[in-house]
Each structure stands twice: as structure tokens, then as C-alpha cells.
């Protein structure tokens, strides 16, 4: 096959195109079929939906379940909880919308065969914490994927979506997407009336703690490559809270989860000298954030803050005290199973480092920052809210539609709504799917028009790195060093270094300031210039190139939002050295950005936070 000739173009027409078949994408596909019986619903995924996305390995707990059937929690309680954890800033309309529907999603999972643990005394779902229920979840993703597969007109696996297509006749309307098959190289043109982006969050935009041989060992899935942000940003969709990156406290080197240990096994942490340390930092934290430190539960970022301060004071490492709990054989089993169902790597790391938590208290560390919209963080696209609940200013169309017509999002893609997790992401997919069906039905004959010129130009751009490599490899000077092209791994490492050193990564203890951010943006602009010189040896590397494109534009959004918000709202996630305190008077608001693809300029603005729930 020649590089620009002989490659087959596959055209796919859909009413609804779902990009990314993870939790939210499966929810969107399933629900679109429910409301749109006669519609053509297509799901496109870069891996295989059977085992793709952040839930690929399985999970041990569903972290968002109200338990309304037993009067355990109400949706309002969840909104208060998420608002508290995010230091006051969440889209309460969107969060409420998920919380009121999430239980029905979990009941469906159980119906489809997901084993949910039950409390033998009450018969209710076994709680791990106030919002979490415990599951035997190794097969969580295949179970959810089966529902989507049965609902979809067709699922296209192994297609890396690189760009969205815009309507040739209407300036702000989406018309589909393009991408390529990572196995065959075929070019795919999807024409669709509505598009739902559900492509997960972003790892590997900041330099990870584990580099070299351990590079893939990050908390967040290494394949979560920021397409959820890159695709909408490039067509001018507004983004929100992109500065709100998340840093996780996890078991060192394996990133095994700590939630079950705290909540279920009742373990606790101590410093290197066996002392309790969180209380020591109370006054310091209060001086930064005021009363937020007195909230219950203490916001996630503030707990990180105490750990970071203690380590910086020279009293590390911080350890999880497991030796006591693990004397109970039941708790010991639960402690190990907690990893074996979802983070097997942690058990392997412990084995390789001679750590038996029954005899050694394992170390904890803080991760590099990640960008996502569904965990204890809320970066993502700015979306229209539910008709019956959202304030007028948050409503410009259909529920979960972005600021681009016909472009919807769910899960990690949508900003402002933290703590949705796996069940909430699936639920938000369902909400977006239903709204997209309404959009398509209302369109009637207003079918979007795709310009052949546009997708043929994109085709050339997409495959160019193969050509760059083919020509440039003849000039290799040593090993993989070529004067003419940049390999995707080199580009990725450059990006990670810039973000790490200038935008608040691990090497600066999450510290940045206006001067550093301005310089970081200059360096990102230089990397952007070099992106036309990427070289790809094969289709796998070509996928890496396009993942890097998405990571880069999302990183730029992170840097711009961080520069715009002149305060330190979430100490423990990142710090602005020039604005070290939380500033509710000026910054109790959302930050919004919009990228103009014609000029390459970004416009920043504030949007009000409406507190709908007392
Ligand atoms: C380490 C970790 C632990 C977690 N633990 C829990 C837990 O215990 N309980 C819980 O309830 N939740 C947990 N979560 C949260 C949960 O996994 C996420 O909330 C959920 O997966 C988000 O759904 P999503 O669909 O937005 O993203 P994902 O499920 O990640 O799906 C995104 C999909 O998009 C695809 N994709 C990406 N880019 C492209 C592209 N360009 N073209 C085509 N396809 C693309 C991906 O391959 C993937 O299939 C955890 C998350 C992480 C990262």
C-alpha cells in the first residue's frame, strides 16, 4: 500500500456517533438505542470495548451509588459531598442529574450479571463507604460492553479517532469524525447527525514518577490520551476547570487504591517516625483555605496537602499502617483481593519488593497530576444542563450538549461534575444518549453536510508522519536520533517535562506561578510547531502521534486555565506561588476557555457558580 494512494476509505453514516466505548460510551450507546429504536447508532473505539478504558482491568467497588431504595442517601446529599470535596466549585445541576439516575444504572449492572456484594445482616449492598458499594468486578467492563454491543447498530473497534468534522453549511455544527484503523491503516470517515464524545481522561501529560522501564506504571490508565478534550477543543467547544488536575495519594510504585484500606479495613497513616501528622498541618492549611479545612469529610486535596508538607519537612516516608488490620485473616484477604480485582500490579510490586503488609507498613506517595472529569476532580467540556433543573445561564440546548451544536459528551469528557466514577459516567452517557436522540429527531431533514475537501485534507495530515519517517530514516545519525523527525516517545517526554517543570508537576512539588506558566506556554508553542515533523514507523506509532496531538492541546488548556485562575484553590493538587491562598471573593467561579482553530488564540472568561442546593 502506498502512503497516499491505495488506502481504502471507509464511509460510515450514523444518526448518532459515540466516540470511545468506555463506561460513558457504553452508557450512551445503550440508552440511544432505548429512545431511538430506528436510529443508526455507531460506537467507535480505539481499542476493543470488551476491555477498554479505565475500567479495563475491573474494579472492586462502584463508587457512586445513592441507595435511595433503602433511604441511605439522597441526590442532594451527593451534590453537597462533591461540592465540599471540590472546595465549593461544581455544576450542581449536572451533578444532581447524575445522582438522581445513578441507582437505576447500578440495578441494571446487577441485572446484567455483575456480582454485587451484600451485607449478610441487612441484605443491602455491602457498603465500603458512604457512597461506595463493593463488587466482584473483574468482569465489570465485559458485562457493560455486552449491553452496548447489543444496542449498537455497529461497534468499530481499533479505530483511533483523530478529528471531528464540522458541517460545511453551518459554522458551529458538528458533522462527524475521522480516524484510522490501527491494524489495517484504513481511513474512516464517519458522518453523523449527533456526536457523543466519551473518550476518557488524560494520563501522561505530566512527567510520571515511574519513567523508563516503569513508564506504563501510572495510577491512571496510560492509554487515556486526552482525546476527550483534544477533539472538542480543536472545534471550538468551551472547556471548564482544566486547571483542576488531580493528584492521588496511593501505595507507592504500584498505585494500588487506598480507599478500601481506609474505609473497610480501618487502616490509618503515619509519618516515617510513626507519628500522626495531619493535625500538625491544621493551622497552616487553615491560613491558606479558611473554613474549608473544617469541612467533613476533609477535601481530598487538603489531605494530600498535609502529606506533602510532612514529607517536605523531612519526616517521610508516609506509611499506611496495615500491620494491625492484617492480623485479622478476613481483613487480610480483603486487603489482597482489593488489588487482585483491579490493580494486580500493586500485589506484584509488593512481592518484588519483599513487602508483606502483615509485617511491613507499605509506603504511600502522591501521583503525578492527571486531567479527568469523573473522579475527585472536574476538568472537561462546558455542557448545557438538564431542562428541569439547570439555571438559565447553564442551558443553551440539549442536556450535555457542548457549546458546539450536535456535540455531546459524558464521563471524563464533561467538566464541573466530580465524583461520578464508573456508575455515574455510564449514567451520564445514558443522559447524553437520550438528549442526542431528541436532537436528531428534532433535526428532521437538517442533515449535516461533510466537505470532501475537509476530510481529504485531514487524511493527508493524519498519515504524514509515516511519510516523514520513510524519508527521514535514511538520515539517522545514531540509534533513533534523526535530524528530520521527532518520534512520538520523544515528543511525549518533552511534553511531560514542560508540564512537570512549569505547570506544577512532581519535580516542583506541584508548585508553579505566572512566570513559570508563561514560559511553559512558550515551550508548548515550540513543541506545537514541531508536531508537523513527527515521524511514525508504523501504524502503532501513528496512533501515538495522534494521542500526543490530543495530549498537547489539552496540556495547553491546563496551562492557560492555571494561569488564568489567580489563586490556589486546591492546595495538594497544585500551588500558585504568586497567589498562595484560596480567594473566594474573586475566584468562587468557573474558568472557561475557548480555542479558535483559525487564529490559534484562546479566549478566557469566568462563569458563575450557582448553588442550587442549600
Ligand atoms: C485508576 C482508576 C481507578 C478507579 N477506580 C474506580 C473505582 O474503584 N470505582 C469506580 O466506580 N470508579 C473508579 N474509577 C473511575 C472510572 O474508571 C471512570 O470514572 C470511568 O471509567 C470514566 O468513564 P469514561 O467513559 O469517561 O472513560 P473510560 O472508561 O476510560 O473510557 C474511554 C474510552 O475512550 C476510548 N478512546 C480514547 N481515545 C479515543 C480515540 N481517540 N478514539 C477512539 N476511542 C478512544 C478509550 O479506549 C476508552 O475505551 C477509577 C478510575 C481510575 C483511572
Whether the bond into 108 is cis, omega within 30 of 0: no
Ligand 1 center to 200 CA (angstroms)? 5
- The confidence score (pLDDT) of residue 305 equals 97
> Where does ligand 1 bind, in terms of residues with CB under 6 Å?
19-25, 44-47, 52-55, 59, 61-63, 160-161, 198-200, 219-221, 223-225, 227, 374-375, 411-412, 421-423, 425
Q: What is the DSSP string of 526-579?
A: HHHHHGGGB--SSHHHHHHHHHHHHHHHHHHHHHHHHHHS-S-SSTTT-EETTS
Q: 451 C-alpha to center of ligand 1: Å?
A: 32
Q: Give residue 346 CA to ligand 1 midpoint distance, Å.
A: 19
In three-state secondary structure terms, 179 is: strand
Greatest CA separation found in the chain? 71
- What pLDDT is stored for residue 5 in this prediction? 58
Nearest CA to ligand 1 atom 23: 23
pLDDT recorded at residue 342: 78
pLDDT for residue 158: 98
Pull the grid cell for residue 268: 490509618
How remote is the CA of residue 529 from the centroid of ligand 1, in Å? 30
Q: What is the C-alpha separation between 251 and 351, in angstroms, rounded?
A: 13
- What Å distances lie between residue 299 and 185, 289, 295, 306, CA to CA? 46, 11, 7, 11
Cα distance from N-terminal residue to C-terminal residue, the chain: 63
Burial class of 525 by CB neighbour count within 10 A (0 to 12, 13 to 18, 19+): exposed
Look-up of cell digits 535530524: 483
Ligand 1 atom with least separation from CA of 411? 26
**Residue ranges of the chain with pLDDT lower than 50?**
1-2
Question: 571 CA distance to ligand 1 centroid (A)?
Answer: 25
Report the chain's mean pLDDT, rounded to a whole number: 95
pLDDT of 226: 98
What 3-state DSSP class applies to 224?
coil
Among 42, 45, 50, 53, say which to mutate for ligand 1: greatest number of ligand atoms within 8 Å of CB: 53
The answer to whether 201 touches 370, Cβ cutoff 8 Å, is yes
Most informative mutation of 225, 264, 421, 429 for ligand 1 (most atoms within 8 A of CB)? 421
Which atom of ligand 1 sits closest to the CA of residue 59? 8
Nearest atom in ligand 1 to 219's CA: 1
* pLDDT tens for each residue of 185-210: 999 999 999 999 999 999 999 999 98
**Selection from 256, 279, 275, 259 nearest residue 362 by Cα:** 256
Amino acid at each position: 500500500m502506498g502512503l497516499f494512494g491505495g488506502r481504502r476509505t471507509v464511509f460510515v453514516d450514523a444518526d448518532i456517533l459515540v466516540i470511545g466505548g468506555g463506561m460513558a460510551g457504553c452508557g450512551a450507546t445503550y440508552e440511544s438505542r432505548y429512545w431511538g429504536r430506528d436510529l443508526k447508532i455507531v460506537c467507535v473505539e480505539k481499542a476493543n470495548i470488551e476491555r477498554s478504558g479505565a475500567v479495563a482491568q475491573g474494579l472492586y467497588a462502584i463508587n457512586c451509588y445513592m441507595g435511595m431504595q433503602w433511604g441511605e442517601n439522597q441526590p442532594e446529599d451527593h451534590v453537597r459531598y462533591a461540592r465540599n470535596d471540590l472546595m465549593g466549585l461544581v455544576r450542581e445541576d449536572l451533578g444532581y442529574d447524575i445522582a438522581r439516575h445513578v441507582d437505576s444504572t447500578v440495578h441494571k449492572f446487577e441485572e446484567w450479571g455483575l456480582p454485587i456484594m451484600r451485607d449478610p445482616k441487612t441484605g443491602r449492598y455491602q457498603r465500603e463507604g458512604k457512597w461506595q458499594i463493593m463488587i466482584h468486578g473483574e468482569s465489570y467492563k465485559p458485562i457493560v460492553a455486552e449491553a452496548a454491543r447489543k444496542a449498537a447498530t455497529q461497534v468499530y473497534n481499533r479505530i483511533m479517532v483523530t478529528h471531528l468534522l464540522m458541517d460545511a453549511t453551518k459554522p458551529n455544527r458538528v458533522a462527524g469524525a475521522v480516524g484510522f484503523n490501527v491494524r489495517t491503516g484504513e481511513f474512516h470517515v464517519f458522518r453523523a447527525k449527533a456526536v457523543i464524545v466519551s473518550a476518557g481522561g488524560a494520563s501522561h501529560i505530566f512527567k510520571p514518577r515511574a519513567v523508563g522501564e516503569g513508564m506504563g506504571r501510572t495510577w491512571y490508565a496510560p492509554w487515556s490520551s486526552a482525546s476527550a478534550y483534544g477533539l472538542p477543543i480543536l472545534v471550538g467547544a468551551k472547556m471548564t476547570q482544566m486547571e483542576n488536575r488531580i493528584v492521588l495519594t496511593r501505595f507507592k510504585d504500584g498505585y494500588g487504591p487506598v480507599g478500601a484500606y481506609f474505609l473497610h479495613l480501618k487502616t490509618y497513616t503515619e509519618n516515617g517516625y510513626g507519628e500522626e501528622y495531619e493535625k500538625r498541618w491544621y493551622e497552616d492549611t487553615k491560613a491558606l483555605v479558611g473554613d474549608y479545612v473544617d469541612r467533613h469529610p476533609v477535601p481530598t486535596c487538603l489531605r494530600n496537602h498535609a502529606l506533602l508538607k510532612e514529607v517536605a519537612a523531612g519526616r517521610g516516608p508516609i506509611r499506611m499502617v496495615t500491620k494491625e488490620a492484617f492480623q485479622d485473616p478476613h481483613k487480610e484477604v480483603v486487603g489482597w483481593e482489593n488489588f487482585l480485582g483491579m490493580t494486580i500490579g500493586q500485589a506484584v510490586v509488593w512481592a518484588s519488593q519483599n513487602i508483606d503488609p502483615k509485617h511491613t507498613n507499605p509506603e504511600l506517595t502522591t501521583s503525578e497530576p492527571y486531567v479527568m472529569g469523573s473522579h475527585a476532580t472536574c476538568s472537561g467540556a462546558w455542557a448545557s444542563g438538564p431542562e428541569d433543573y439547570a439555571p438559565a445561564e447553564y442551558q443553551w440546548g440539549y442536556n450535555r450538549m457542548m457549546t458546539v451544536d450536535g456535540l455531546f459528551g459524558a464521563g471524563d469528557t464533561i467538566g464541573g461534575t466530580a465524583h461520578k466514577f464508573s456508575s455515574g459516567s455510564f449514567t451520564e452517557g445514558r443522559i447524553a444518549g437520550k438528549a442526542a436522540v431528541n436532537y436528531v429527531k428534532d433535526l428532521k431533514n437538517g442533515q449535516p453536510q461533510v466537505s470532501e475537501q475537509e476530510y481529504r485534507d485531514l487524511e493527508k495530515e493524519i498519515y504524514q508522519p509515516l511519510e516523514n519517517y520513510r524519508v527521514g530514516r535514511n538520515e539517522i545519525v545514531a540509534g533513533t536520533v534523526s535530524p528530520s523527525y521527532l518520534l512520538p516517545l520523544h515528543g511525549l517526554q518533552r511534553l511531560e517535562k514542560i508540564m512537570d517543570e512549569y505547570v506544577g508537576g512532581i519535580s516542583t512539588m506541584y508548585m508553579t506561578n505566572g512566570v513559570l506558566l508563561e514560559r511553559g506556554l512558550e515551550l508548548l508553542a515550540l513543541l506545537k510547531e514541531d508536531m508537523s515533523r513527527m515521524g511514525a514507523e508504523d501504524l502503532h506509532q501513528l496512533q501515538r502521534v495522534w494521542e500526543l496531538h490530543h495530549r498537547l492541546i489539552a496540556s495547553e488548556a491546563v496551562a492557560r486555565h492555571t494561569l488564568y485562575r489567580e489563586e490556589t484553590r486546591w492546595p495538594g493538587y497544585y500551588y500558585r506561588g504568586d497567589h498562595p491562598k484560596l480567594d473566594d471573593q474573586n475566584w468562587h467561579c468557573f474558568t472557561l476557555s475557548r480555542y479558535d482553530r483559525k487564529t490559534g488564540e484562546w479566549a478566557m472568561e469566568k462563569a458563575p457558580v450557582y448553588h442550587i442546593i442549600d
